[in-house]
Amino acid sequence: MKRNSDYYTKLAKSKGYPARSVFKLKEIQEKYRVIRVNDKILEIGSSPGSWSLYIFRELKLKGSIVAVDLVPSEVSADEYSRYTFIQGDIMDDTITKKIASYGSFNVVLSDAAPSTSGNRLIDSSRSYEIAKRVLEVGIKLLKGGGNIVVKTLQGGETGKLKSEMSRYFGFSKLFKPAASRSESTEIFLIGMNFKS
Ligand SMILES: C[S@@+](CC[C@H](N)C(=O)[O-])C[C@H]1O[C@@H](n2cnc3c(N)ncnc32)[C@H](O)[C@@H]1O
Protein backbone atom coordinates (compact mmCIF):
# COMPACT_ATOMS: atom_id res chain seq x y z
CA MET A 1 0.00 0.00 0.00
CA LYS A 2 1.33 3.49 -0.90
CA ARG A 3 1.50 5.90 2.05
CA ASN A 4 2.78 9.44 2.16
CA SER A 5 6.49 9.99 2.73
CA ASP A 6 5.94 11.53 6.20
CA TYR A 7 4.44 8.24 7.34
CA TYR A 8 7.68 6.33 6.74
CA THR A 9 9.91 9.10 8.11
CA LYS A 10 7.94 9.21 11.38
CA LEU A 11 7.79 5.43 11.60
CA ALA A 12 11.58 5.16 11.12
CA LYS A 13 12.25 7.70 13.88
CA SER A 14 9.79 5.99 16.24
CA LYS A 15 11.62 2.68 15.73
CA GLY A 16 15.06 4.26 16.28
CA TYR A 17 16.24 4.20 12.66
CA PRO A 18 18.03 7.28 11.30
CA ALA A 19 16.59 6.94 7.75
CA ARG A 20 13.24 5.95 6.24
CA SER A 21 15.07 3.87 3.64
CA VAL A 22 15.01 1.00 6.16
CA PHE A 23 11.49 0.14 4.99
CA LYS A 24 12.67 -0.35 1.42
CA LEU A 25 15.13 -3.05 2.47
CA LYS A 26 12.49 -4.58 4.75
CA GLU A 27 10.10 -4.94 1.79
CA ILE A 28 12.85 -6.37 -0.41
CA GLN A 29 13.83 -8.85 2.30
CA GLU A 30 10.22 -9.91 2.99
CA LYS A 31 9.58 -10.47 -0.72
CA TYR A 32 12.88 -11.97 -1.92
CA ARG A 33 14.76 -13.24 1.20
CA VAL A 34 18.05 -11.91 -0.12
CA ILE A 35 19.77 -12.07 3.30
CA ARG A 36 20.33 -15.18 5.45
CA VAL A 37 21.33 -15.19 9.07
CA ASN A 38 24.97 -16.30 8.68
CA ASP A 39 25.74 -14.13 5.65
CA LYS A 40 28.78 -11.96 5.13
CA ILE A 41 27.42 -8.74 3.64
CA LEU A 42 28.98 -5.87 1.71
CA GLU A 43 26.86 -2.72 1.96
CA ILE A 44 27.63 0.24 -0.33
CA GLY A 45 26.14 3.69 0.32
CA SER A 46 25.37 2.60 3.86
CA SER A 47 25.20 5.86 5.87
CA PRO A 48 23.63 6.91 8.14
CA GLY A 49 23.11 3.18 8.78
CA SER A 50 19.44 2.17 8.92
CA TRP A 51 19.91 -0.87 6.68
CA SER A 52 22.77 -2.19 8.82
CA LEU A 53 20.79 -1.62 12.02
CA TYR A 54 17.74 -3.41 10.55
CA ILE A 55 19.91 -6.37 9.53
CA PHE A 56 21.47 -6.68 13.00
CA ARG A 57 18.34 -5.91 15.04
CA GLU A 58 15.50 -7.48 13.09
CA LEU A 59 17.18 -10.16 11.00
CA LYS A 60 19.47 -11.03 13.97
CA LEU A 61 22.48 -11.37 11.68
CA LYS A 62 25.10 -13.76 13.01
CA GLY A 63 27.40 -13.05 10.06
CA SER A 64 29.09 -9.71 9.39
CA ILE A 65 28.74 -6.43 7.50
CA VAL A 66 31.44 -4.44 5.72
CA ALA A 67 29.85 -1.04 5.06
CA VAL A 68 31.15 1.70 2.75
CA ASP A 69 30.09 5.31 2.38
CA LEU A 70 31.45 8.76 1.53
CA VAL A 71 30.19 10.07 4.87
CA PRO A 72 30.47 8.67 8.43
CA SER A 73 28.17 5.98 9.76
CA GLU A 74 25.95 6.29 12.82
CA VAL A 75 26.29 2.56 13.53
CA SER A 76 28.60 1.93 16.45
CA ALA A 77 31.27 -0.72 15.88
CA ASP A 78 31.48 -0.95 19.71
CA GLU A 79 27.85 -2.04 19.89
CA TYR A 80 28.00 -4.29 16.80
CA SER A 81 31.35 -6.09 16.77
CA ARG A 82 30.68 -7.73 13.41
CA TYR A 83 30.35 -4.33 11.72
CA THR A 84 33.25 -2.74 9.81
CA PHE A 85 32.96 0.71 8.27
CA ILE A 86 35.13 2.03 5.45
CA GLN A 87 34.79 5.71 4.63
CA GLY A 88 35.39 6.35 0.94
CA ASP A 89 34.14 6.44 -2.63
CA ILE A 90 33.12 3.18 -4.31
CA MET A 91 34.34 4.64 -7.62
CA ASP A 92 37.88 4.83 -6.18
CA ASP A 93 40.11 1.79 -6.87
CA THR A 94 41.93 2.10 -3.53
CA ILE A 95 38.58 1.67 -1.77
CA THR A 96 37.56 -1.36 -3.84
CA LYS A 97 41.00 -2.92 -3.10
CA LYS A 98 40.43 -2.31 0.61
CA ILE A 99 36.99 -3.98 0.36
CA ALA A 100 38.53 -6.95 -1.50
CA SER A 101 40.95 -7.45 1.40
CA TYR A 102 37.93 -8.68 3.41
CA GLY A 103 37.47 -11.60 0.99
CA SER A 104 34.25 -12.64 -0.73
CA PHE A 105 30.65 -11.98 0.29
CA ASN A 106 27.29 -13.78 0.26
CA VAL A 107 25.36 -10.56 -0.34
CA VAL A 108 26.08 -7.13 -1.84
CA LEU A 109 23.60 -4.35 -1.04
CA SER A 110 23.69 -0.83 -2.47
CA ASP A 111 21.45 2.09 -1.61
CA ALA A 112 24.14 4.48 -2.91
CA ALA A 113 22.70 7.58 -4.49
CA PRO A 114 24.53 10.61 -5.90
CA SER A 115 23.44 14.01 -4.64
CA THR A 116 20.74 15.07 -7.09
CA SER A 117 21.02 18.08 -9.40
CA GLY A 118 17.33 18.24 -10.27
CA ASN A 119 18.12 17.39 -13.88
CA ARG A 120 16.71 13.89 -14.47
CA LEU A 121 19.12 13.04 -17.27
CA ILE A 122 22.22 14.04 -15.30
CA ASP A 123 20.96 12.35 -12.12
CA SER A 124 20.04 9.08 -13.81
CA SER A 125 23.37 8.94 -15.64
CA ARG A 126 25.35 9.53 -12.37
CA SER A 127 23.25 6.91 -10.66
CA TYR A 128 23.88 4.51 -13.56
CA GLU A 129 27.66 4.95 -13.16
CA ILE A 130 27.45 4.03 -9.46
CA ALA A 131 25.09 1.08 -10.08
CA LYS A 132 27.38 -0.20 -12.87
CA ARG A 133 30.37 0.00 -10.51
CA VAL A 134 28.44 -1.80 -7.73
CA LEU A 135 27.53 -4.56 -10.17
CA GLU A 136 31.20 -4.90 -11.22
CA VAL A 137 32.27 -5.10 -7.56
CA GLY A 138 29.55 -7.68 -6.91
CA ILE A 139 30.62 -9.83 -9.85
CA LYS A 140 34.20 -9.76 -8.52
CA LEU A 141 33.47 -10.35 -4.84
CA LEU A 142 30.28 -12.43 -4.57
CA LYS A 143 30.44 -16.11 -3.66
CA GLY A 144 28.59 -18.55 -5.92
CA GLY A 145 24.84 -18.52 -5.13
CA GLY A 146 25.12 -14.99 -3.68
CA ASN A 147 22.59 -12.18 -3.98
CA ILE A 148 22.76 -8.49 -4.91
CA VAL A 149 20.47 -5.48 -4.47
CA VAL A 150 21.38 -2.31 -6.38
CA LYS A 151 19.54 0.99 -6.31
CA THR A 152 19.42 3.07 -9.46
CA LEU A 153 17.39 5.93 -10.89
CA GLN A 154 15.31 4.84 -13.85
CA GLY A 155 16.60 6.12 -17.16
CA GLY A 156 17.82 4.96 -20.53
CA GLU A 157 20.42 2.66 -18.99
CA THR A 158 18.21 0.69 -16.57
CA GLY A 159 17.47 -2.00 -19.19
CA LYS A 160 21.22 -2.35 -19.85
CA LEU A 161 21.90 -2.92 -16.13
CA LYS A 162 19.07 -5.44 -15.91
CA SER A 163 20.29 -7.45 -18.91
CA GLU A 164 23.89 -7.34 -17.61
CA MET A 165 22.60 -8.66 -14.30
CA SER A 166 20.66 -11.49 -15.91
CA ARG A 167 23.90 -12.77 -17.51
CA TYR A 168 25.43 -13.33 -14.08
CA PHE A 169 22.49 -14.25 -11.85
CA GLY A 170 20.00 -17.11 -12.01
CA PHE A 171 17.17 -14.70 -11.20
CA SER A 172 16.92 -10.94 -11.75
CA LYS A 173 14.12 -8.49 -11.21
CA LEU A 174 13.37 -4.75 -11.03
CA PHE A 175 11.48 -3.79 -7.85
CA LYS A 176 9.96 -0.49 -6.66
CA PRO A 177 9.13 -0.70 -2.93
CA ALA A 178 5.95 0.96 -1.66
CA ALA A 179 8.14 2.92 0.78
CA SER A 180 9.95 4.57 -2.14
CA ARG A 181 8.61 8.09 -2.73
CA SER A 182 6.18 7.95 -5.66
CA GLU A 183 7.73 11.07 -7.22
CA SER A 184 11.19 9.44 -7.13
CA THR A 185 12.46 7.49 -10.14
CA GLU A 186 14.47 5.17 -7.90
CA ILE A 187 14.19 1.46 -8.47
CA PHE A 188 16.06 -1.58 -7.13
CA LEU A 189 17.67 -4.27 -9.23
CA ILE A 190 17.59 -7.61 -7.45
CA GLY A 191 19.93 -10.38 -8.57
CA MET A 192 19.85 -13.80 -6.94
CA ASN A 193 21.85 -16.98 -7.23
CA PHE A 194 25.14 -15.60 -8.60
CA LYS A 195 26.71 -17.90 -11.18
CA SER A 196 30.39 -17.79 -10.14
C1 LIG B 1 20.02 7.00 0.61
S2 LIG B 1 21.54 7.09 1.43
C3 LIG B 1 21.71 5.48 2.10
C4 LIG B 1 20.85 5.25 3.31
C5 LIG B 1 21.18 3.93 3.98
N6 LIG B 1 20.69 2.80 3.17
C7 LIG B 1 20.53 3.81 5.34
O8 LIG B 1 19.63 2.97 5.47
O9 LIG B 1 20.91 4.53 6.27
C10 LIG B 1 22.67 7.06 0.10
C11 LIG B 1 24.13 7.06 0.52
O12 LIG B 1 24.94 6.80 -0.63
C13 LIG B 1 26.20 7.40 -0.38
N14 LIG B 1 26.99 7.48 -1.62
C15 LIG B 1 26.70 8.19 -2.74
N16 LIG B 1 27.68 8.05 -3.65
C17 LIG B 1 28.59 7.20 -3.11
C18 LIG B 1 29.84 6.69 -3.58
N19 LIG B 1 30.32 7.02 -4.78
N20 LIG B 1 30.53 5.85 -2.76
C21 LIG B 1 30.06 5.54 -1.52
N22 LIG B 1 28.88 6.01 -1.03
C23 LIG B 1 28.16 6.83 -1.81
C24 LIG B 1 25.82 8.77 0.19
O25 LIG B 1 26.89 9.35 0.90
C26 LIG B 1 24.62 8.41 1.08
O27 LIG B 1 25.01 8.25 2.43
Q: Does ligand 1 come within 6 angstroms of the Cβ of 172?
A: no
Query: What sign results for the dihedral spanned by CA atoms 45, 48, 51, 53?
Result: positive
- The enclosing domain of 138 has a CATH number of 3.40.50.150
Please give the share of the chain, as a percent, with pLDDT higher than 90: 77
Give pTM, 2 decimals: 0.95
Task: Indicate whether 121 pLDDT > 70.
Answer: yes
Q: How does pLDDT run across 142-164, given as a tens digit for each residue?
A: 999 999 999 999 988 999 999 99
Task: Tell me how far the alpha carbon of residue 39 lies from the centroid of ligand 1, in angstroms.
Answer: 21
Q: How does pLDDT run across 91-120, given as a tens digit for each residue?
A: 999 999 999 999 999 999 999 988 888 888
- CB atoms inside a 10 Å sphere around CB 176: 15
Structural domain including 115 reads 5-194
Q: How does pLDDT run across 27-83, given as a tens digit for each residue?
A: 999 999 999 999 999 999 999 999 999 999 999 999 999 999 999 999 998 999 999
From 20, 47, 71, the mutation candidate for ligand 1 (largest count of ligand atoms within 8 A of CB) is: 47
Structurally, the chain folds into a number of domains equal to 1
**Which residue, judged by its Cα, is nearest atom 23 of ligand 1?**
45
pLDDT confidence of residue 155: 84
